[in-house]
Structure 1
Amino acid sequence: METKFLSETNLKFLLHDVHEISALTEYDAYRHQNRKMFDMVMGAALDLAKTKLYPILEEMDENIPELLDGSVRVHSAVRNLMKEYGEGGWIGASFPEQYGGEQLPLAVAMATRYIFAAANYSASTFPELTAGAAHLIISFGSEDMVAAYVPNMLSGKWQGTMALTEPEAGSSLADITASASPAGDGSYRIKGQKIFISGGDHDGVDNVVHLMLAKIDGAPAGVKGISLFVVPKKRIDPAGALVGNDIVVSQVFHKLGYRGNPITQLSIGENGDCHGFLLGEPHKGLAYMFQMMNEARLGVGMGAAAIASAAYYAALEYTRGRTQGRKIGQKNLADPQVPIIEHADVKRMLLFQRSVVEGSLSLLLQCSMYADLAHLQDGEDKTKHALLLDLLTPVAKSYPSEMGILTTSQAIQCLGGYGYCKDFPVEQYYRDVRIHPIHEGTTGIQGMDLLGRKVTMHGGESFNLFNKEVGSTIAHARRSPELAASADQLEASLIELQNVTRHKIEQAATSGPEVFLADATLYLEYFGIIVIAWQWLKQAIVAQSQLEKASRIRRSFLTGKMFTFRYFFAYELPKTKGLRSRLLDTDPLTVRMESSFFND
C-alpha cells in the first residue's frame, strides 16, 4: 500500500471548490494559466515528494548535520534536492518570470510547499528559506544586487537564510548588537554573533547568503537604528570569484526534531574582514525584514499543518489495520476482534486531527489568496485584502503550530505503545512539529501582535473587515436548512468575540498595557478557534451543495467532510466559552504574581 501523508482530493477541493483559485486567472499576471495547469503542478510536486523527499524522511532525522572542519555536513541528498528544486522551478514558483520565476499564484506555490513539508519537513525548508531571502533582495535591492544573487539562489546553487537572532537578543530585536562599519568601498564590515540560523551553513550548496540585521555605527537606538544587509558566506571578488567572507560556524545546535536542516550559531567578522552589502535604505531593516518574517510565518503554519497531516494519515492507516476488542455490548468472545477505528473514542481522536489539519490548511490557503489579491488589485480592494492578511497572519502561524502538537500527540495515542517507538513515524512527527510555536515569533508574540496591534490598527478597520467576511459566510450558510443552526452558532460566537475585544480595548485604557496584554495568548487561541470554525463553515457550504449529485466515491469524501465540520462545531467551537470567561475576568492574576512567589 502506498504511504499517504496528505489528501490530494482535499487539497484540490480547497483550492478549486472552496477558495476558487481559478478566479485569479482573470488577472493579467495569471491569464495564461488555468485549472489544468495548476493540477499538473500539484501532480509534479506530489511525484517529487513521494519519490525523493519521503524516502529519506527517517534518514535525515537519524543522520543529523555535523560540523566538520569548519563546514556543516548535511544528508548527501540535499545537494541533489536543491538542484532539483531549482531546475523544477520550485524555489521561484511564485516569482515573476522576469526574475526567472514560474509566476504561479502564491496559493498554488503554498500548496506545493504543503506537499513537500508533509513528505519531509526538514528537506522542504531549504528551498523555502532561499525563496524568502531572494524575494527580499528583489523587493529592496539594486539591479546589480539582484543580478549577483537571485539567479544562483533560484537555481538552488546558493542557500538563503534569515539572520536575526543573537545570544542576548532573541525576540527583542531592539537589543541586537551586530555592528556595521563603512568599509570605504560601498560595503560594510559586519561584526557580531547570530544564533538559531536555519540552514546557516551546509555543504549541499556552493554558497550561503544571509539576510542579516545589524546597526550601522552611530545609528539611532532601538529598532529605528536597524539596517538590513546581504552577507554571503563567500563574497564575490572584483574578478568574479568566490572568496571567504570571515563567517565561522561556531556550533550546530542539537535539536529535538526538525533535525535534517542545521540550526547554527555564526561568528561574524572575527578577523575584521566580513563584508556586508546594505539592502535598501539605512535604518529601515526591520521593516524590510518583516516582509520575509510574515511570509515565513505563513510558511511555519503551513509546515505545522503538513506535519500534522502526515501524522493523521499514519494514524488512520494504523487504526484501519489494527484489530483489538469488540464493539461495546458485543459479549461473545468467539466473535472476531474489530479494527480499532470502529471504536468511538478512536474516531473522536481521528476527527480531532482531521478537523485541525483541514481547517488549518483552508485558513492558510485563504491567507495566500488574500496575498495574491493584495498584489493584483488596486485601491480599496487591495487595501482590504492586505489588511485581512495582516490580521490573520498571527492566527495562521499559531493555530496550526499549537494545535499540531496536540494532533500529533493524538496520532501517537491512536497507535498506543507503538506510537511511542521509532518503528512508526508518528514519534518523529511529534518531535518535528514542536518547533513551530517557537519559529518566527513565539505564540506569545503572535498573541500580543494580534491583540495589541492588529485588531486596533487603522481604527479597528481590519477587525471590522474580518467580521464582514465571516458575516458573509454565515449569511450564505443560512440559505441551506442543513447549515442554518451552525450559522447561528458561529454568529453567536462572533458576537461574543466582538464583545470580548471591546472589553479588552476598554481594559487597556483603564488598567494599562501590561494588564491588557497579559492574556493575549488566550485571546489568540480564542480568536483562532472562531477563525477555523469560519473556514469549516465555508467548506460545509460547498460540500453540502455537492452531495446530491456526487458519485459514490466523491459522496464518501463529502460526507466525511460534513462529519468533520459537525465535529468541530460540536467539540471545538464550544471551547471558546471557557476562554471567553477568562478573558472577561478583570483579575490580573499573572501580573500580580511576583517572581519571588515561585520559590519553594
Structure 2
Amino acid sequence: MPSYKAPVKDYQFLLHQVFNLSDYEHLKSFEESSPDLIDAILEEAAKLTENVFQPLNQSGDEEGCKLENGVVSTPKGFKDAYDQFTESGWQGICGDPEYGGQGLPMVLGQAINEMMVSSNWGLSMYPGLTNGAAETIHTWGTDEQKQAYLPKMTSGEWSGTMNLTEPHCGTDLGMLRTKAEPNDDGSYSISGTKIFISAGDHDLTENIIHLVLARITGAPDGTDGISLFIVPKFQVNDDGSLGNHNGVTCGSLEEKMGIHSNATCLLNYDNAKGYLLGEENKGMRAMFTMMNEARLGVGVQGLAIAEVAQQNAADYAKERIQGRALKGAKFPDQAADPIIVHPDVRRMLMTTRAFTEGARAIVVWAALQSDVARHEQDENKKALAYDLLSLMTPVIKSYLTDQGVDAASRSMQCLGGHGYITEWGMTQFLSDARIAPIYEGTNGIQAMDLVGRKLPRKNGEVIRAYFTMIQEFIDEHKGNEDLTEYCTLLEKALQRQQAATMWLMQNAMSDPDQAGATAHYYLNLMALVCMGFAWLNILIKAKAMIKADEGDKNYLKNKVITGNFFFHHILPETTSLRYKIEAGAGDVMAMEAEDF
C-alpha cells in the first residue's frame, strides 16, 4: 500500500526562512497570518490529508464514480471525507470574509492544495474547481450574484465547475455551438452539449454551480461572440433555498486513463435557465479568470504527484534488497544490499527530489505574486506582481506537469516489476499524472501562449522585468564566495534564455512556424532558469543558517546537496535547449503531411 507524508517542514522553511512572510505583513490577507497560525494550519492540513484523504485514494481509484438512473455517485468514503473537509472550514480558507471565507493568503492555499492532490488527486478536484468558479463570480458577478452563490460555495455546501469543451471543439472555442436564448425575465435558456466536465455531477454537495460558455442568439461568430453564464444544477429561490432541477443532466461518465474517482461528465443542457456573468460577448475574458487560477492549480498537481511518487520510491529503495553496492557490500551480513546503494537508483531519486523542492519554491513565489497582485496598495508593485504571475503561469502549468509525469515514471522504475503492479500504487500515480499536461490548455498551447502573447506583452517590458529581477538577484549575491559558483551557473543560463529570446524576436516575427516549432523548448529553458533562481534563494538561506548554527543541520545539509545536484545535473540542460531553439523550424516542418 502506498503512503504519504505531507511536506510540512519544507513549507515552513520556504515560508518563514526563504521567502520571509513577515515582509508581506502589510497586505490584508497576511494581517492575521502569524507564523504560529500558519504552522498550525499546515499541521492540521497534514493530518487531514494523511489520515482522511490518503486512505481513500487507492480504493477510490479502483471503485471510480458511477452513473445509475441519472444519478452520479462518488466512491465509498468520499462524501464523509468531503464533509470533514468542509465542516472544518477548509473550503473557504482563502475566500473573501464578506462571504464567509477566512481571507488567508493564497500562498497558504497552494500549500494545502499540494497536500490534497498528493494524498487524493480525484477528491481534491471537487473543492479545487469550486474555488476557481467562486473566484470568477467574485471578479465578474453582480452584487446579487455574489450574495446568491458565494456564501454556499465558500462553505463548500455548493460546488462549481467550468464548461468550455464541446464534442467538436476544444482549444478552438470559436467553433462553440452551445446557444443562449434571452428570456423575458433577464435570464437565458441554455442549450447544447459540453464534454470532459470535471466534477460535472456528483453526490458531495446539494447544488452544483456550472459556469458555461455559450453564444447568445445573433452574437458574432468566433470567440468575440461568446458569453459566460451561471447555470445552477438546481434553481436558487429568492430566499436562497433550492428550487426545481434545472435543465442540465449528466448524459454519461467518461472512461478515463486516470483520476477515476473524479466524475468527468458529458453534460446536456436543454433550455436550462442561466444568468449572464459579466458582459455580453465578453465570456472568454471572464472565463480566463478561472482558467488562469486553474492553470496554477494544475501546475501544483504536477508537483504534488511527483512528491508522493518520490516518497514511495525512496521508501521502497531503502527496503528492497537486491544486488551489491559497486564498491563492495554495504551490509555483508545480509544476502544483498538495499537498492538505494546503486548510483542509477540514486540518480532517479535525486532528479525527482531536485525537481520537487525547486518546484515547491517556484509555487510559493508565484502564490506570493498572486497575494501582492490582489492586496498591494502600491500600484507599481501590484502591477509588477500581476505581470510576473501572468508571464509565469504557462511556464508553471506546463513544466511542472510534464515533470510530474516524468517523476511518476521514474519512481515506478525504481520499483522495477513491482512498480508495474497495481497494489504498489505507482500505476495510479502515473495514470493520474498524465492528464495534467492535457487539461486546462495542453502544454503545447501553454508554450505558444508564452511565446506568442506573454513575451511581446507591453512591448517586452514584462520579460525584461523578469530578466532584471534575476540578474539583480545574482549581482547581489555573487560576491559571496559560498554562492559564487551558483550565481555564475545561473547567470550563464539566464544569458542563454536572453539569447534565445533575441533569436525568437529576430526569426518568429517573419515566420510564425519558428515560434511554433521552438516554443516548447523555450518554455522549458525559461522554467529551468526560474528553478535556478528558486534554488539560489533556497541555498542562500540554507548556507546562512548552517554558518550561523541555526535550524536542523541535517535538513539544511541535504538542501545543499540537492541544490548542488540541480546546478550540476539539471541546469546544464539549458545549453541543449538553446541549441534546439536556434535549430529552428526547418527540420520540424520539412516532411509532407501525407508522409507521416
Give me the TM-score of the superposition, normalised by structure 2.
Answer: 0.96
Instruction: Report the AA paired with residue 355 of structure 1.
Output: A
Q: 1:487 to 1:425 in 2, by over 3 A?
A: same
What is the SS of the residue equivalent to 2:357? helix
Deviation of 1:515 (Å): 2.8
What is the SS of the residue equivalent to 2:479? coil
- Name the residue aligned to 1:221: 221
Instruction: Report the AA paired with residue 300 of structure 2.
Output: M
Q: 1:189 to 1:343 in 2, by over 3 A?
A: same
- Name the residue aligned to 2:358: 359
1:82-481 to 2 correspondences below 5 Å: 82-237=82-237, 240-269=241-270, 273-330=271-328, 335-336=333-334, 337-377=336-376, 378-481=378-481
| Stretch deviating more after TM superposition (149-158 or 407-416) | 149-158
Distance in 2 (alpha carbons) for counterparts of 1:507 and 1:571: 30
Distance in 1 (alpha carbons) for counterparts of 2:452 and 2:330: 60
Distance in 1 (alpha carbons) for counterparts of 2:504 and 2:286: 31
Instruction: Give the conservation status (yes or no) of the 8 Å contact 1:187–1:278.
Output: yes
Distance in 2 (alpha carbons) for counterparts of 1:62 and 1:365: 33
Distance in 1 (alpha carbons) for counterparts of 2:330 and 2:43: 48
Instruction: Report the AA paired with residue 272 of structure 2.
Output: C
Distance in 2 (alpha carbons) for counterparts of 1:118 and 1:205: 23
Distance in 2 (alpha carbons) for counterparts of 1:69 and 1:332: 61
Distance in 2 (alpha carbons) for counterparts of 1:369 and 1:43: 20
Distance in 2 (alpha carbons) for counterparts of 1:108 and 1:262: 27
Q: Which runs of no fewer than 5 residues in structure 2 stay unpaired? A: none
- Name the residue aligned to 1:55: 55
Instruction: Report the AA paired with residue 310 of structure 2.
Output: Y
Deviation of 1:476 (Å): 3.5
- Name the residue aligned to 2:19: 19
Instruction: Give the conservation status (yes or no) of the 8 Å contact 1:61–1:260.
Output: yes
Query: Does residue 583 of the first structure (1) align with residue 581 of the second (2)?
Result: yes
Distance in 2 (alpha carbons) for counterparts of 1:158 and 1:47: 24
Deviation of 1:243 (Å): 0.8
Deviation of 1:410 (Å): 1.0
Instruction: Give the conservation status (yes or no) of the 8 Å contact 2:496–2:574.
Output: no
Q: 1:130 to 1:187 in 2, by over 3 A?
A: same
Q: Which runs of no fewer than 5 residues in structure 1 stay unpaired? A: none
- Name the residue aligned to 2:543: 544
Instruction: Give the conservation status (yes or no) of the 8 Å contact 1:360–1:399.
Output: no
Deviation of 1:291 (Å): 0.8
- Name the residue aligned to 1:555: 553
Instruction: Report the AA paired with residue 524 of structure 1.
Output: L
Deviation of 1:2 (Å): 11
Instruction: Give the conservation status (yes or no) of the 8 Å contact 1:351–1:564.
Output: yes
Distance in 1 (alpha carbons) for counterparts of 2:590 and 2:160: 44
Distance in 1 (alpha carbons) for counterparts of 2:475 and 2:330: 51
Distance in 1 (alpha carbons) for counterparts of 2:98 and 2:158: 19
Instruction: Report the AA paired with residue 562 of structure 1.
Output: V
Instruction: Report the AA paired with residue 396 of structure 2.
Output: A
Deviation of 1:332 (Å): 11
Distance in 2 (alpha carbons) for counterparts of 1:398 and 1:448: 11
Deviation of 1:423 (Å): 2.4
Deviation of 1:473 (Å): 2.6
| Matched residue count | 593
Distance in 1 (alpha carbons) for counterparts of 2:297 and 2:29: 23
Instruction: Report the AA paired with residue 177 of structure 2.
Output: T
Distance in 2 (alpha carbons) for counterparts of 1:480 and 1:411: 36
Instruction: Report the AA paired with residue 359 of structure 1.
Output: G
Deviation of 1:371 (Å): 0.7
- Name the residue aligned to 2:528: 529
What is the SS of the residue equivalent to 1:49? helix
Deviation of 1:233 (Å): 1.3
Q: What CA deviation, in whole Å up to 9, does each residue of 1:156-195 have, x standing for no partner? A: 2222001111111101111111110101111100011101
Deviation of 1:212 (Å): 0.7
Q: What CA deviation, in whole Å up to 9, does each residue of 1:490-538 have, x standing for no partner? A: 101111111111111111233x223322221121122212211211111
Deviation of 1:364 (Å): 1.1
Distance in 2 (alpha carbons) for counterparts of 1:3 and 1:205: 28
Q: What CA deviation, in whole Å up to 9, does each residue of 1:6-57 have, x standing for no partner? A: 4221121112211222322223443233111111111111111122101111
Distance in 2 (alpha carbons) for counterparts of 1:238 and 1:40: 39
What is the SS of the residue equivalent to 1:480? coil
Instruction: Give the conservation status (yes or no) of the 8 Å contact 1:165–1:194.
Output: yes
Instruction: Report the AA paired with residue 100 of structure 2.
Output: G
Q: 1:151 to 1:168 in 2, by over 3 A?
A: same
